[in-house]
Chains A and B, each alone.
Chain A
Amino acid sequence: MVDTMIDGWNLVIGIEIHAQVKSNSKLFSSSPTDFGSNPNSQVSLIDAAMPGMLPVINSFCIEQAVRSGIGLNAKINEKSIFDRKNYFYQDLPQGYQISQYKDPIVGEGYIDIETEDGKKRIEIERLHLEQDAGKSLHDQDPNYTFVDLNRSGIALMEIVSKPDMNSPEEAVNYVKKIRSILRYLDTCDGNMEQGSLRADVNVSVNKVGEELGIRCEIKNLNSFKHINSAIIYEANRQIKLIESGGRVDQETRLYDINSNETRSMRSKEDAHDYRYFPDPDLLPLVLDKEWIETIKKNIPELPDKKKERFIRDYSLSDYDAEVIVSDKATSEYYEIVVNGRTPKLVTTWVTGELFSVLNKKNISIQDSPISSEMMGELIDNIENGKISNRLAKDVFEDMCETGKNPNKIIQEKGLSQINDEGEIERLVDEVLNNNPDNIEKYKNGKTKLLGFFVGEVMKLSKGKANPSTLNKLLKKKLDN
């Protein structure tokens, strides 16, 4: 990554993440939450704000928010209030969003992220539950905007950080870590392409030693790449503006993915005054202490803990452990494979061969052509010496292409390593018999020729001769 900051300037970033709660039905209605359905096909009377409709809260969404709060090391508030945030917009049917204002369900917490200088703690201010809005399509007609309410009313968790990040890398790592934790908890699927996790990024700059600058909020960033580029652009814009004698206006900006620039929103509310007040349709949410404890007890192992354990139990390097645990599915895959096998070998294969295939195909580990069981089988064959590491790579490639399991490939292609000393000796003898000149040279001190003999025997064995047995036998014969 290029050095984004200009000397003498300090960059301050705070992030609001909107994470869609993983649930079957919406926050206050029984409509489904499926992505990609036909327009307005998962809209209830409540979601369309028909007259007389009332919200009834989804208990699972409450549970998911509490679980997420615990995962963020945060305080769970025993009493929280749902408020109405009032504003008019075409995709906000009620004319207000039900959200939580003064009394959110989750209070202060923190997460640790990796930075170049080691671990850094990022404080979290709060997490609250709220409704998502519908979707507007502006490009369907030159004169009209089309509105689809499928998303209207889906439960979101808004996670607000303190302005604790100071570089685009930290910001990206923060969002990655939150996403990873939520995926571990299974409270959000983290699909950024589908909008299940979006970030509003607050950026300000100030001269080192001076007080904090005025911040701009960049709305709705839905990829790590965009978060990174938007921050770089925005920070540089603000610095240039200040250096040329201008002032930063506190405003909401949009990031244009085509130009990589941010721009002021044209449709600003004339005056932001959301008139928050407690929703009279919803009584205060009071959580039972014991119930919170039960949830706490059932929280799965989270990435930080898992990383510690992997380093301890599998002697992984910090780097490898980080790479493996950052994605829940990868860590689960790894653990299946490593069970009863040599961790170092497993790590090399998973982070090496497997990752490179996944990257090349641009797929996630869940869609891997090679299941954890098949990967284990392949490594077994290496460990028990049935095939060499070299041959294993061919088998692996074959597995990727055909989806066949490794034993079958080894058997079909007759790739089993030759371990029988007698058979290898026969091959060695054949090579030696055919190369008297080279034996002579070897004996006269050109010991490098050992490699030549190994190669010849391997060629003869179609790569199947056990390399260590072969080495042992060759040396014995040549050195006699």
Chain B
Amino acid sequence: MEFDKKNLLKLGKLARILIKDENLDSLSEDLNSILKFVDQLKEIKTDHVDPTSNSLEQILLSRKDIVEKINETEDILENAPEKEMEFYVVPKVIE
């Protein structure tokens, strides 16, 4: 498939990245080039091959259900660009 203006904008929406008009052409050129490059995988036979998500051969390690030292609210909010009282603040959301 080819990236055109329309599906590139759709992709940008999905990734929450604003794509400016002046970048559309060069960006779709880049992405098409990458896509063409990775498309060569289609040649590889992978019938009956299991996928690998993580190469580590180990069981899922777990922790006990114990409450540990928690951060102070101030620590958590310390880097917030906008906060009010003990909350993070974002532009009004209408559900």
Contact = CB atoms under 8 A, between A and B. Distances in A.
B54 to A, nearest CB: 5
B64 interface: yes
A38 B67 contact: no
Contact of B91 (A40, A48, A144, A282): A144
B44 interface: no
Interface residues of B, number: 36
- Interface residue tally on A, bucketed by range: 35 or more
B48 interface: no
Nearest to B58: A283
Contact of B86 (A40, A62, A280): A40
A323 interface: no
A56 B10 CA distance: 34
Contact of B87 (A40, A267, A275): A40
Contact of A146 (B60, B61, B87): B87
A73 to B, nearest CB: 26
Interface in A4-41: 23-25, 30-32, 38-41
Interface string B32-48: 00000000000000000
B31 interface: no
B90 A41 contact: no
B73 A39 contact: yes
B68 interface: yes
B92 A145 contact: yes
A388 B77 CA distance: 66
B62 interface: yes
Interface in B33-89: 53-54, 56, 58-71, 73, 76-77, 84-89
B20 interface: no
Contact of A280 (B53, B64, B87): B53
Nearest to B89: A144
Interface string A142-164: 11111111000000000000000
A41 B67 contact: no
A143 B71 CA distance: 29
Nearest to A39: B86
B64 A59 contact: yes
B95 interface: yes
Interface stretch (A133-141, A221-229, A396-404): A133-141
A273 B7 CA distance: 14
Contacts of A285: 60
Given A31-B67, A40-B73, A271-B10, A286 B60 contact: yes
Contacts of B1: none
A278 B86 contact: no
A285 B93 CA distance: 37
A58 interface: yes
A401 to B, nearest CB: 40
A284 interface: yes
A68 interface: no
Interface string A254-283: 100000000001110011010101101011
Contact of B67 (A24, A145, A273, A283): A24
A59 B84 contact: no
B16 interface: yes
A230 to B, nearest CB: 16
A59 B60 CA distance: 10
A338 to B, nearest CB: 35
A416 interface: no
A141 B58 contact: no
Given A90-B90, A149-B76, A30 B60 contact: no
A41 B86 contact: yes
Contacts of B84: 140-141, 144, 146
A387 B77 CA distance: 65
Interface in B1-46: 10, 13-14, 16
B63 A267 contact: no
18 contacts: A24-B67, A25-B68, A39-B87, A40-B73, A43-B73, A45-B76, A57-B60, A90-B90, A141-B84, A143-B91, A145-B89, A145-B90, A146-B88, A149-B76, A149-B88, A271-B13, A278-B53, A283-B59
Interface of B: 10, 13-14, 16, 53-54, 56, 58-71, 73, 76-77, 84-95
Given A30-B67, A90-B88, A273-B14, 9 more contacts: A30-B69, A44-B71, A57-B63, A137-B87, A140-B87, A148-B88, A283-B60, A283-B61, A285-B60
